[in-house]
Chains A and B, each alone.
Chain A
Amino acid sequence: MSLLDYLLPYDFSPLTVLSYMLVMGFYGIGLLRMPEQDRPGALRIFAFTLGVIICYAVMQTRLDYYAQYMFFVHRGQHLILHHIGPILIALSNPLPIMGFWFARINPRWKQALRPIGWAYKLLQQPFIALFLFVGLIYFWLWPPIHFDAMLSRDLYWVMNWSMLLDGLLFWWLIFDPRPPAITSSLGYGKRMLILAVAGVLQMILGAWIVFSRDMVYDVYEVCGRAWPLDPEVDQFLGGLLTYIPPAMMSILGILLILRRAMHEDGKYTNPSKNLEEKAS
Chain B
Amino acid sequence: MNTRFWRHRTKALSCIALMVMSILLTGCFGNDEDWHGKDISGLMPGLEFDLINSQGEPVSGSDYSGRVRMLFFGFTSCPDVCPTALQKLNQAASGLDPELQDEVLTLFVSVDPKRDTPERLAEYVNFFGDNIVGLTGTEPQLRELAKRYRTTFGYDEPGPDGNYAVSHSSAVYIFDREGDPRLLVRPDLSSEEIRQDLVALIQEDS
Contact = CB atoms under 8 A, between A and B. Distances in A.
Contact of A224 (B14, B38, B170): B170
Contact of A226 (B3, B152, B165): B152
Given A224-B167, A228-B167, A150 B17 contact: no
A148 interface: yes
Contact of B150 (A139, A144, A150, A218): A150
Interface stretch (A26-34, A151-159, A259-267): A151-159
A68 B156 CA distance: 19
Interface in A214-235: 218, 221-228
A224 B151 contact: yes
B120 interface: no
Contact of A222 (B13, B25, B29, B171): B171
Interface stretch (A44-52, A122-130, A197-205): A122-130
A91 B19 CA distance: 33
B87 interface: no
A125 B21 CA distance: 15
B151 A125 contact: no
Contact of A228 (B25, B29, B165, B186): B165
A60 to B, nearest CB: 15
B44 interface: yes
Interface in A123-153: 125, 127-128, 131, 135, 139, 144-145, 147-148, 150-153
Interface in B104-163: 146-147, 150-154, 156
A38 interface: no
A219 B122 CA distance: 30
A111 interface: no
B27 to A, nearest CB: 12
Nearest to A218: B186
B39 to A, nearest CB: 10
Nearest to B186: A222
A172 interface: no
B169 A151 contact: no
Given A128-B13, A145-B28, A184-B3, A223 B18 contact: no
Given A121-B6, A144-B29, A151-B44, A224 B153 contact: yes
Contacts of A11: 147
A161 interface: no
Interface of B: 3, 6, 10, 13-14, 17-18, 21, 25, 28-29, 38, 40, 42-44, 73, 146-147, 150-154, 156, 165, 167-171, 184, 186-187
Contacts of A128: 13-14, 17
Interface residues on A, range: 20 to 34
Contacts of A226: 152, 154
B17 A224 contact: no
A69 interface: yes
22 contacts: A11-B147, A125-B13, A127-B10, A127-B14, A127-B18, A128-B14, A131-B17, A139-B25, A151-B184, A152-B43, A152-B150, A155-B43, A222-B171, A224-B73, A224-B146, A224-B151, A224-B154, A224-B170, A225-B154, A225-B167, A227-B154, A228-B167
Contacts of A122: 13, 17
A224 B146 CA distance: 10
A127 B11 CA distance: 9
Given A125-B6, A144-B29, A155-B43, 18 more contacts: A10-B147, A127-B18, A131-B18, A151-B44, A151-B150, A152-B42, A153-B150, A184-B3, A221-B170, A222-B187, A223-B169, A224-B167, A224-B168, A224-B169, A224-B170, A225-B152, A225-B167, A228-B156
Candidate in B73, B150, B184 with the most chain A CB atoms within 10 angstroms? B150
Contacts of B73: 224
Given A135-B21, A184-B3, A225-B167, A125 B154 contact: no
A107 to B, nearest CB: 18
B151 A223 contact: yes
Contacts of B38: 147
B43 A148 contact: yes
Contacts of B154: 224-228
A78 B38 CA distance: 26
B116 to A, nearest CB: 17
A105 B21 CA distance: 34
